Structure formats: structure tokens, C-alpha cells
């Protein structure tokens, strides 16, 4: 019985680490989608006077990072103009797996844990009161 435990225990640890990281990533993706779209709605749809898209991009990234835990994630926000008055903001979550919350690990018992990426985008019509064309 001891030999079977010695043979199975490393496999069970690797499977548990992958499962826990996958579940944490899925939960973070769900929260990230909600937080990112909310930040785009708040900061990009009606920016204050003099605020350009690149400044809104920085505000969105800061708001998303403040809402997330941030220990094992990195957030990146990009924007592109897609039409007359429309801007698409794309937010990307870069998740670094860990070993049950104990720092960032790239492998568990020789099995690599790759970084995971998730992105969401939202196109908005930027409205600035009193400005017809910009």
C-alpha cells in the first residue's frame, strides 16, 4: 500500500494543482469580464473635457487592477478606432498559475503550468457634450 501511495501522490498533487488553478482562472475570468466592461462604460463612454482615448485607456487599466486581487494577474488595455465616433477597448487578463497560493510557480513536480490569457472587448460611442466633431 505504501508503494502505491508513493507512486500516486505526485500525480494527485499535479492534478490538484492544475484543477485549483483552472477553477481560480475561470472565476477570475468571470469577474474580469464584468469589471472590464463596467470600467469601459464608466471611463470611455463620456470622458471629461480634454480626456483623450489613451488617457481613458490608462484609467480603465487602473480601475480593473484596483478591483482584481492582482497578486497573480496582469491587466493590459488597448483601444482602436473602428468607425465614425466608435472606439473598441480590448482588455486582456494575463494569469500566472501558482501552487495553492504560495507564490508564482512555473512548474509543479516537473509539469509546466503555462500562463493563461483571457480577453474581452467592448465598442463604445464616445460622447462629449458640446463637441460635434473631433
Q: What is the pLDDT of residue 132?
A: 59
Res 73: pLDDT = 76
85: confidence class by pLDDT, cuts 50, 70, 90: confident
| pTM, entire model | 0.78
pLDDT at 78: 94
CA separation for the pair 64, 70 (Å, rounded): 9
Q: Evaluate whether residue 132 is within a structural domain.
A: no
Is it the case that residue 72 has pLDDT exceeding 70? no
Count of domains forming the chain: 1
CB–CB of 98/72 below 8 Å? Answer: yes
46 pLDDT higher than 90: no
Task: Find, among 52, 57, 28, the residue nearest to 121 by Cα.
Answer: 57
Q: How confident is the model at residue 71 (pLDDT cuts 50, 70, 90)?
A: low
Rounded to an integer, what distance in angstroms lies between the CA atom of residue 130 and that of residue 134?
11
The residue among 103 and 6 whose pLDDT is bigger is 6
Reported as a pLDDT band with limits 50, 70 and 90, residue 79 is: very high
Is 134 contained in some domain?
A: no
How many whole angstroms separate alpha carbon 18 and alpha carbon 107? 10
- Domain span holding position 14: 2-125
Q: How confident is the model at residue 38 (pLDDT cuts 50, 70, 90)?
A: very high
Amino acid at each position: 500500500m505504501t508503494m502505491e501511495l508513493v507512486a500516486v501522490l505526485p500525480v494527485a498533487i499535479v492534478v490538484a494543482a492544475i484543477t485549483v488553478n483552472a477553477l481560480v482562472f475561470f472565476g477570475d475570468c468571470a469577474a474580469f469580464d464584468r469589471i472590464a466592461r463596467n470600467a469601459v462604460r464608466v471611463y470611455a463612454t463620456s470622458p471629461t473635457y480634454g480626456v483623450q482615448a489613451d488617457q481613458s485607456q490608462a484609467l480603465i487599466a487602473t480601475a480593473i487592477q484596483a478591483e482584481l486581487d492582482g497578486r497573480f494577474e496582469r491587466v493590459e488595455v488597448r483601444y482602436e478606432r473602428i468607425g465614425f465616433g466608435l472606439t473598441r477597448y480590448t482588455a486582456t487578463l494575463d494569469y500566472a498559475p501558482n501552487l495553492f497560493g504560495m507564490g508564482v510557480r512555473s512548474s509543479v513536480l516537473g509539469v509546466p503550468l503555462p500562463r493563461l490569457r483571457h480577453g474581452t472587448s467592448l465598442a463604445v460611442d464616445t460622447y462629449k457634450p458640446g463637441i460635434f466633431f473631433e
